[in-house]
Structure 1
Amino acid sequence: MDIQFTPEECAFREEARAFLRSQLPAEISTRVQQGKRLSKEHQVAWMRILNERGWLAPSWPVEHGGTDWTAVQKHIFEEECFAAGAPRVVAFGVKMVAPVIIKFGTEAQKAHFLPRILSSEDWWCQGYSEPGAGSDLASLKTRAVRDGDHYVVNGQKIWTTLAHYADWMFCLVRTDPEAQQQRGISFLLIDMNTPGITVRPIITLDGEHEVNEVFFDNVRVPVENLVGEENKGWTCAKYLLTHERTSIAGIGQTKALLAKLKLVASRELRNGQPLLDDPLFRAQIADVEMQLMAAEMSNLRTLAATRDGGVPGAESSILKIKGTELRQQITYLINKAVGTYSLPVLEEELGYGCGAELLHTDYSSAASNQYLDMRKASIYGGSNEIQKNIIAKMILEL
């Protein structure tokens, strides 16, 4: 693979940079770079700016509002967004359920949901994991029983990211308890305002309310909200997960974190010398940078292979493992480098209305919070241990 960008790709990079300089709100980019909270309004504002330019859903077919970007252009744009301090696009609608609707949904579902995802009128959450069904997703227990032109749903989902903001959930439910596990599952689209749905917050290790428990008590879902065939939702689930795991590789985000690590190491002093002058610490930085370069090449190869509508195989699991491990390594090194400045960030520093001067420096702010938050990266999207099993089965045919 030729790793040199073509003149056209370099021109596209400049176009992306110009767009970000002119359109990315300074307040939002500052909050991202300082590790401060983004409200739903911040996220929606940025997604609508992208949509107005036609750049919100580059992986969608053009006829549904996507771009005709190549895999390399998508990679370049993601990289430039993270470098500029742009928020990561909330994936559940644009990058996860939308591709499933496009591939398996009815024409009515495409006509209704896709424009509303693009406009950010509807926000989505993912109803996959359950208390007894996380890594072994096919053992899920949430039931959906057909009752005329509705399904009646009962059960519980857990670790449901942003469910407290979501308008809709794409949800795996068991519609045939007698069938083989994977064959008795269906893929439903559930309006979160339906009576019988309760959302309870889970506060994570870094003090954030990002994930939730969701309970279903006789929730009635129209049959028209079934995607694909009844009892064959596992096909939709696998298709979605391959896209999610490739996205979790987060090459652009990892490169931005690496740049922050280098900045920290160039400013932090040990015995009067920049930490970057310490040969042992410098070797650790070099190690993660070499691993990142290898992951980037693998990511580009995978994207190139899927540009004609194909689905990544074991590569998505490999990239998920490597991408999350690298981000954990880098946030650990940042946390280690800033020393006492890595004490947990005060609530008032993270808050939406904080106007006071930060007690932490511009480059070490929220170091510990990022480190703690990144601990979960090797679990969500299917734990890395499970990904290794998937790789073994797909490549070694075990």
Structure 2
Amino acid sequence: MHTDKLYEWGEGVFTLLSWFKQDKVKNAKVLVVGAGALGNEVVKNLTLFGVGRIYVCDFDRIELTNLTRSVLFREEDAYKHAYKSEIAAKRAMEINPQIKVFPIVGNLFSEVGLGLYKDVDVVIGCLDSRIARYLLNRLCMRAGKAWIDGSIENMTGVVKIYAPGVNCYECNLSREEFNHIMLRTGCADVVRTQASAGRVATTPISASIVGAMQAQEAMKIIHMTENEPAPFKTLLGKMWRFEGMTNSINTYKYASWKNNCPAHEQWSDIITCNDLSANMKVGDVLTVLKSVLDVRAVEINMRNNKFIEKIISDRPEKEFKLNIPESKLEETIQSDEELRKLSYRTVFHKCFYENIDEDFPFKELTLKEIGIPLYDIIQVSTEKGVKYVELSKDAEYYGL
């Protein structure tokens, strides 16, 4: 029967749950990193719960092999080679038109500003490489945010939660695992190469079970209120493991927090600046920063993404001018026939800028063009010490 009254998603269903708070869910913001098999399940479940804003980050495109485990993808998407994040966002809003799902096509560190990590209620990692988890953990620690890690292989699935002061992904790495990561993080775009290099054999059942657990833990975190007892327990500091071959489910204590771990760097006392955007030219940003911070000189540290001015090949010895962020280096090499051929038999030496100040020769470029994403928080060195400044003007890009 037609009615003029707007149907509110979940009304008369979730509202029957004693712990469910409709307003909290409608106003919740969740960042999902990875839109493959796990990401599909997580986004679907958050959508069905009616989470108000979901941000989906993935740089990859849909292939036919994804269809066996990805409920939001269709055959036509694979033939069009569409981006995973864009299709996941589109299909989620078809399921529930009352929510907003924002696709982010890109890497979790070079295309997602730290301001978004700071503003969401929780981050969910649906990743398939140690390097990506290592980087996500560092960003979440920097933003003071909990993140829910999920992994699947064959009929096995694991869920863990990392949060500042309790559990750290990097602290849990063995020396061998850590060295393995360090050998492969020389170039920021290596995450793209590593994450798409291998395929993990798994099943849609494993993805469904682990994705459901991740979404359920996210709902618990969304509902937790400071100084109020929660009616449930989370997996914070624990590891939940499902083994489908033997139908066993176990929960283990899994928390490591080492005092000297470099990943624990937390950026506090963040200065919001509504006059700053990643779309502004570097020279203008430096001027605004000096005024806002009331200092004589500023230096922006490119923590995630160096600016590559040129690369020099060994054999033959030749210089190539690039002027790109390091995150675009692999893509640039692969798209240039000469560079692509050289990359298989020579070493490239990079000439780069790690810090940006008044001596930077490319001040007409925008922050985004040199590798700083929209709504980022930039680390600025001044004569008054290190400051953290948010590019707050970009919040509108994410509907904030």
Q: TM-score range by the shorter chain?
A: under 0.3
The structure with more helix, counted as a fraction of residues? 1
Q: TM-score, normalising length from structure 1?
A: 0.24
The structure with more strand, counted as a fraction of residues? 2
Q: TM-score, normalising length from structure 2?
A: 0.24
